[in-house]
Structure 1
């Protein structure tokens, strides 16, 4: 199965549940009902971590170059998704193999609330970006979902600054073309590394969890980066106020907001800190001194 078909399958799942909230997903997807000791995501990241000196910087193949062809930006009714085609992969950093990069998408709050999925010492960032990667040995999504480590997701917190992020403009400039669910537009590929905290890529946390959308499969190796990337308030507002699930929502002035899943217990899972991670010491202090939209 090609990456295009794989991404379409993921989008079809997202479209199927876009009209219901996270607490109702279990009605249609039993695996979304968290039970005792199950490994669901997202989680809260706190000081109860285990340092793992073998977790060094991941190898991001192709992230530093502009790929050929065209990428596609879509509104799937639950998020804004950027399909990145072929040519990029993730490996190293304790991952059990090579993972092909498929797409990235965003979770956000509202003009008055923060909306990251993972929390840091119970605090949310305004947004969170997920880069989805599938283990290269699998021919399709079904096979990957049968593998406890079939997917590797890179999570990046997004904070707000007064200056615009010119690199993020590649996406922000196209958001008006995906206002409603089902709309899509092409984007000229750009080096994906430009969206990331390039100088702090060795600082991250690792744990085993699940997809944060149905079917909530517990097959994800999460890598959550400690240092956030930044966009401007104006760029954030393009998500929080300018994206709608339906045209009816737009008529009712009801934009897509707070599209994050609730935090789940860690239970017996070990959350690892990479060799260079600060174990939240600097991050927790940082959260109290920078302007964010609010504390959830």
Structure 2
């Protein structure tokens, strides 16, 4: 497990208020370090025409063996085995794909880690990739660009996402902390907004959990992944941060870190990302139109 080594020491402290992580981990202190994640993606982004779509090697293929889904008490993680990697799009080298995991809110609140023009989405999915030159996670965390994380906002519509069901149908098997189950591999590309993968934002930041290592090249995609209300509720209401035999069962909710200042960091918009326009109240024009279309479709669905 990618985070097993990272959380070996942190496990007893990560349950604390994220604002208090700095008391236990120097690198988590927001006043001592300036490259924290997550951040708000706002009007201060700069266009970088050199940022083209990343190369997602093996994401369209059916991998051999099996994948492992686990509830580690802090998130639901899917370990992806070997066979996939990412490169290009301004990344400093080739990165091996290791796992994906999720952040969410509660039945009454949204829970994405990053926000887009101050909007928090219901969920966020992170695909974690490690630079190929590093032998292990410890070495990668010492490199300012040792990890490349692909972040996808998750929004909600009325119909189930049949591809997301590969994961959501297995969640009942990992409802409690420490539970693990196997998943038959599927093309990872089927989860992603594959027609919009050239639209993203890029910045350098940190892990969003202890030890908050500032070793992450973040790529946040503009167009969300869509799941149903039922699939969202499986995370917000049916996953627990405690063991099955615990005296008091605690729902796993709001497992996201607070927003941090950008400071002097450059946040770049890819060549095809929505254009920033003051006429659109600071939102990317393309994204504004996209959101309007989605809202119209939702309205029609509620009437029919």
TM over 0.5: yes
Q: Deviations over 1:165-208 (max 9, x none)?
A: 00000000110011111110000010001111110000000000
* 1:67 matched to 2:71: no
* 1:39 matched to 2:35: yes
Over 3 Å counting, the alpha-carbon distance change for 1:11 and 1:185 in structure 2 is: farther
Q: 1:125 aligns with which of 104, 113, 121?
A: 121
Hey, what does 1:227 align to over in structure 2?
A: 223
Where structure 2 has 5 or more consecutive residues not aligned to the other structure, the ranges are: 276-283, 299-304
Q: 2:53 aligns with which of 45, 51, 57?
A: 57
How far apart are 1:223 and its partner, in Å?
A: 0.2
- The residue correspondences of 1:21-170 to structure 2 (distance < 5 A) are 21-35=17-31, 38-170=34-166
Over 3 Å counting, the alpha-carbon distance change for 1:7 and 1:82 in structure 2 is: same
Over 3 Å counting, the alpha-carbon distance change for 1:37 and 1:185 in structure 2 is: closer
Q: Deviations over 1:197-254 (max 9, x none)?
A: 1100000000000000111011100000000010000000000000001147986564
Q: Distance in 2 between matches of 1:15 and 1:179?
A: 19
How far apart are 1:268 and its partner, in Å?
A: 0.4
Q: Distance in 1 between matches of 2:227 and 2:67?
A: 21
Q: Distance in 2 between matches of 1:249 and 1:207?
A: 42
Q: Distance in 1 between matches of 2:189 and 2:8?
A: 28
Q: Distance in 1 between matches of 2:226 and 2:188?
A: 14
1:205 match: secondary structure: strand
Hey, what does 2:185 align to over in structure 1?
A: 189
How far apart are 1:282 and its partner, in Å?
A: 3.3
Q: Distance in 2 between matches of 1:249 and 1:31?
A: 34
How far apart are 1:22 and its partner, in Å?
A: 0.8
Hey, what does 1:9 align to over in structure 2?
A: 5
How far apart are 1:12 and its partner, in Å?
A: 3.4
Would you say how many aligned residue pairs link Structure 1 and Structure 2? 287
Hey, what does 1:281 align to over in structure 2?
A: 285
Give the structure-2-normalised TM-score. Answer: 0.89
Give the structure-1-normalised TM-score. Answer: 0.92
